């Protein structure tokens, strides 16, 4: 995976205080459509729905064979905080979003299709929904949603696919495939670490994991506009997506365990020590209280050096702390569910701080 910066320069530390929203935009051969998508994004900025000074835009080129990366570099050059990632080969939308989530630095992470078929001006509604939920998903079926110029084939495919999803999983949602979803950062990192599906059905696996972990899902009615040149092929992709759903259920046991740091604080540490530890950790790390009174710091989507660096940081900042490296499987995480990411009641807004999973 190659990376180039655009606009502003990213600081190495304190990123969670520097940006409040990371918007991941997966793109595969989207060169011809990026202009219109970015135009909708610029309109949302002009309307005050997105603050470019506190938003990082992460464009992930999923192994395109056209000029997607070059075009994105030009179109996003006017924004101060931009990351352009280029995957060496095509992985699928799920793989591209996962790559973007892995590098996202804000306490709120969202992803949107490159064509911005979902009005990006609705971003504040998704962020607001996270005040009472762990993730917020767009829904074209919810009361108050509007769908413009939907094709009959696509509508039939979506309805049939959602019926299949609800029959095979415990998702129980009417629209799993809407292209705009937002997460509290610890939730996004954890869910994408635990997922294996890389193509269009990745949304289903993410939502199924959220249900399994007892997370709260909010549905946000959206304004959806059909954009010409969609990568969706109604019938062949429907069959592929159905196969992915079945495959994901069978592959859950093969997911790499989440690296975990078991932290034992000295007896003199304050009772609210889990929140204290989370306050100085890198953004997006879920923190759980263990049954033995210790603290578990999950390190999803992190490699060994990053995990070791985090352990060193804990020891340096928490005098007398003992840190042991362990791991938790999906099954073990499900056993200690429900996991719940909560902000203090007096917090000004979800984007102001990263709070622990408790």
pLDDT at 101 over 80: yes
Q: Which range has the worst mean pLDDT, 182-191, 291-300, 324-333?
A: 291-300
pLDDT above 60: residue 6: no
Q: What are residue 225's phi and psi, to 5 degrees?
A: -120, 125
Is residue 114 within 8 Å of 30, Cβ to Cβ?
yes
Domains and CATH numbers, the chain: 2-252 (3.90.550.10), 258-328 (3.30.70)
Q: Which residue has the higher pLDDT, 274 or 316?
A: 316
How sure is the predictor about 327, in pLDDT bands with cuts at 50, 70 and 90? Answer: very high
The pLDDT-based confidence of 281 (bands split at 50, 70, 90) is confident
Structure tokens at 197: 């599906």
pTM recorded for the entire structure: 0.85
What is the average pLDDT across 129-154? 79
**Once rounded to an integer, what is the mean pLDDT over residues 286-297?**
80
- Mean pLDDT value of segment 302-317: 93
Region 20-49: mean pLDDT is 95
Chain mean pLDDT for the chain: 82
Residue 13 pLDDT > 70: no
The pLDDT value given to residue 57: 98
In this prediction, residues 129-151 reach a mean pLDDT of: 82
Q: Quick check: 52 pLDDT over 60?
A: yes
Q: Return the SS3 of 123.
A: helix
Give the residue-averaged pLDDT of 275-288: 79
In this prediction, residue 113 carries a pLDDT of 94
Residue 336, classified by CB atoms within 10 Å of its CB into exposed (0-12), middle (13-18) or buried (19+), is middle
**pLDDT tens digits, 239-252:** 666 676 666 666 66
Question: Rounded to an integer, what distance in angstroms lies between the CA atom of residue 59 and that of residue 100?
Answer: 8
Residue 179 is predicted with a pLDDT of: 85
338 cis-preceded (ω within 30 degrees of 0): yes
Backbone angles phi, psi at 303, to 5 degrees: -90, 175
Order of all β-strands in the sheet with 322-328: 287-289, 295-298, 258-264, 322-328
Q: Which residue has the higher pLDDT, 259 or 358?
A: 259
Q: Is the pLDDT of residue 321 over 60?
A: yes
Position 136 pLDDT exceeds 50: yes
38 has pLDDT over 50 = yes
What is the token pair recorded at 217? Answer: 């899902």
Supply the DSSP symbol for 59.
E
């Amino acid at each position: 995976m190659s990376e180039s910066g655009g606009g502003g320069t990213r600081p190495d530390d304190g990123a969670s205080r520097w940006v409040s929203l990371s918007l991941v935009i997966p793109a595969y051969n989207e060169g011809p459509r990026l202009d219109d998508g970015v135009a909708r994004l610029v309109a949302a900025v002009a309307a005050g729905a997105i603050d470019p000074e506190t938003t990082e835009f992460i464009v992930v080129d999923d192994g395109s064979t056209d000029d997607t990366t070059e075009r994105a570099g030009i179109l996003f050059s006017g924004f101060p905080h931009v990351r352009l990632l280029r995957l060496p080969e095509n992985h699928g939308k799920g793989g591209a979003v996962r790559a973007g989530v892995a590098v996202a630095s804000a306490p709120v992470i969202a992803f949107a299709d490159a064509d911005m078929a979902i009005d990006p001006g609705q971003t504040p509604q998704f962020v607001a929904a996270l005040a009472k939920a762990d993730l917020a998903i767009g829904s074209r079926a919810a009361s108050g949603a509007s769908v413009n110029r939907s094709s009959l084939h696509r509508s039939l495919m979506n309805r049939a696919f959602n019926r299949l999803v609800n029959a095979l999983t415990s998702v129980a949602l009417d629209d799993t495939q809407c292209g705009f979803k937002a997460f509290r950062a610890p939730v996004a990192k954890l869910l994408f670490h635990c997922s294996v599906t890389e193509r269009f059905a990745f949304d289903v696996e993410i939502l199924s994991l959220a249900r399994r972990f007892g997370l709260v899902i909010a549905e946000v009615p959206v304004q959806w506009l059909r954009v010409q040149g969609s990568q969706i092929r109604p019938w062949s992709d429907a069959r592929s997506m159905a196969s992915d759903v079945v495959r994901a259920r069978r592959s859950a046991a093969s997911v790499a365990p989440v690296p975990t740091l078991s932290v034992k604080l000295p007896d003199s540490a304050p009772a609210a020590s889990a929140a204290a530890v989370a306050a100085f950790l890198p953004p997006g790390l879920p923190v759980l209280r263990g049954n033995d009174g210790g603290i578990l710091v999950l390190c999803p989507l992190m490699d060994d050096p990053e995990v070791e660096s985090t352990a060193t940081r804990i020891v340096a900042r928490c005098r007398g702390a003992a840190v042991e490296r362990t791991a938790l499987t999906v099954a073990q995480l499900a056993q200690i569910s429900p996991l719940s990411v909560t902000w203090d009641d007096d917090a000004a807004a979800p984007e102001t701080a990263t709070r622990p999973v408790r």
